[in-house]
Amino acid sequence: MEPTNGVESNATVVHGALEQAWSLKEPAKRLQVSCQTIYDLRSQGRGPRNFRVGRELRFRASEVGAWLARLEAEDADRHRAVDRR
């Protein structure tokens, strides 16, 4: 694929720019939990989608947002199930 303006066409794009990739510290700080909590959730397959750049984990803001939306939906479903009893 030919790069366009130095950006490959298969890159994740948000509003015409590459979406920022957060370090492990950023979602932990925004969610007010420890880095270890985020790392543990990731290791258990229950955290937001992520990828590695070298040895470092990176998280896209959109993936963290999608993960939070899934958690909220699952929690709402759980509460509806309890309310139906």
CA distance 34 to 19: 24
pLDDT tens for the chain, 85 residues long, are 444 555 444 555 555 568 889 999 999 999 999 999 999 999 999 999 999 999 999 999 999 999 999 999 999 988 887 666 6
pLDDT score, position 80: 83
Q: Which 8-state DSSP code applies to residue 31?
A: H
pLDDT score, position 11: 55
Task: Please state, in angstroms and as integers, the Cα–Cα distance from residue 24 to each residue in 2, 53, 67, following that order.
Answer: 32, 12, 15
Q: Model-level pTM?
A: 0.71
CA distance 47 to 41: 5
